[in-house]
């Protein structure tokens, strides 16, 4: 597929996807979802990519969903557009590799929801976050009502969604929406350092840990802990784990 919206670069075990619709501040439309799902189809079976980084071109990460596409929607089109976004972001969240959002500017509406579907978020201090759908007589439709409350707590989610407030990167850090704030010029450098650090770890253990953490959120603590124990034990049968333990004792880097 020839991509019109996504710019993709894969090197040194890291895939970087840049969303580029400059005339629309990278707003998400049906073409974006088509391209992104095609990219995920290609990415999922690969074993040479250990980390995915998503960012936006220009002054925006993603400024929202494409209002021009939605303006004439009825109930059926609205439902289909919501389900399409939710399914795409669910696929992203469930990837067996870590996904980092590098947020360089506006992450509003669907852009904030895309960022929340990533495993964690690093932001420039120029970034701005919000769910401004109330200003349009709408509400979040790409599972933003669910992910925001899980990431930031009930009160913060209700505040952001019901007031349609836009918050700074520092406020996003304070409420747990992002994990680190950088200067604009060092954002991608910092993100790539983190991606490389993750890629240097045992990929099987990384994939299992991500899965257990995410699945455990939906279970009772005791059941989630048992699930952790079983996954922990299974790793001892993996050659990579044996190599990692041996390398530690021999004071060398593992040869994964």
Identify the CATH assignment for 6-199 out of 3.90.1570.10, 3.40.50.300, 3.30.2020.30, 3.90.226.10: 3.90.226.10
Give the pLDDT of residue 172.
98
Average pLDDT over residues 172-199: 98
Please report, rounded to a whole number, the percentage of residues in the chain having pLDDT higher than 90: 99
Do β-strands 14-19 and 6-11 pair in parallel, antiparallel, or remain unpaired? Answer: antiparallel
Instruction: Inform me whether the pLDDT recorded for 1 exceeds 90.
Output: no
- Which amino acids are annotated catalytic? 113, 133
Contact by Cβ (8 Å): 105, 80: no
Contact by Cβ (8 Å): 182, 123: yes
Give the pLDDT of residue 3.
97
Rounded Cα–Cα distance for residues 212 and 163 (Å): 34
Instruction: Break the chain into its structural domains and give their ranges.
Output: 6-199, 203-249
Please report, rounded to a whole number, the percentage of residues in the chain having pLDDT higher than 70: 100
Instruction: Inform me whether the pLDDT recorded for 170 exceeds 90.
Output: yes
Tell me the C-alpha to C-alpha distance, in Å, between residue 125 and each of 111, 115, 166.
Answer: 17, 16, 14
CATH class of residue range 203-249: mainly alpha
| Single pTM value for the model | 0.96
pLDDT range class, residue 256, cuts 50, 70, 90: confident
CB atoms near residue 153 (< 10 Å)? 13
């Amino acid at each position: 597929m020839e991509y019109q919206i996504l710019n993709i670069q894969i090197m040194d075990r890291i895939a970087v996807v840049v969303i580029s619709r400059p005339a629309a501040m990278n707003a998400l439309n049906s073409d974006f979802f088509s391209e992104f799902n095609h990219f995920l189809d290609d990415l999922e079976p690969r074993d040479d990519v250990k980390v995915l980084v998503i960012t936006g071109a220009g002054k925006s990460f993603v400024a929202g969903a494409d209002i021009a596409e939605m303006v004439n929607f009825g109930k059926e089109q609205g439902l289909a557009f919501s389900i399409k976004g939710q399914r795409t972001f669910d696929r992203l969240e469930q990837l067996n590799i870590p996904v980092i959002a590098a947020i360089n500017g506006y992450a509003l509406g669907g852009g904030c929801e895309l960022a929340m579907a990533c495993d964690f978020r690093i932001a420039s201090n120029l970034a701005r976050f919000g769910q401004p759908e109330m200003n349009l007589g709408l509400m979040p439709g790409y599972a933003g009502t669910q992910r925001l409350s899980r990431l930031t707590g009930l009160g913060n989610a209700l505040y952001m969604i019901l007031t349609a407030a836009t918050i700074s990167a520092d406020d996003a850090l304070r409420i747990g929406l992002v994990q680190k704030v950088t200067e604009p010029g060092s954002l991608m450098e910092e993100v790539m350092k983190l991606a490389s650090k993750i890629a240097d770890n045992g990929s099987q253990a990384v994939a299992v840990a991500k899965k257990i953490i995410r699945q455990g959120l939906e279970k009772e603590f005791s059941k989630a802990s048992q699930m952790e124990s079983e996954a922990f034990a299974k790793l001892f049968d993996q050659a990579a784990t044996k190599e990692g333990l041996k390398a530690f004792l021999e004071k060398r880097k593992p040869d994964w």
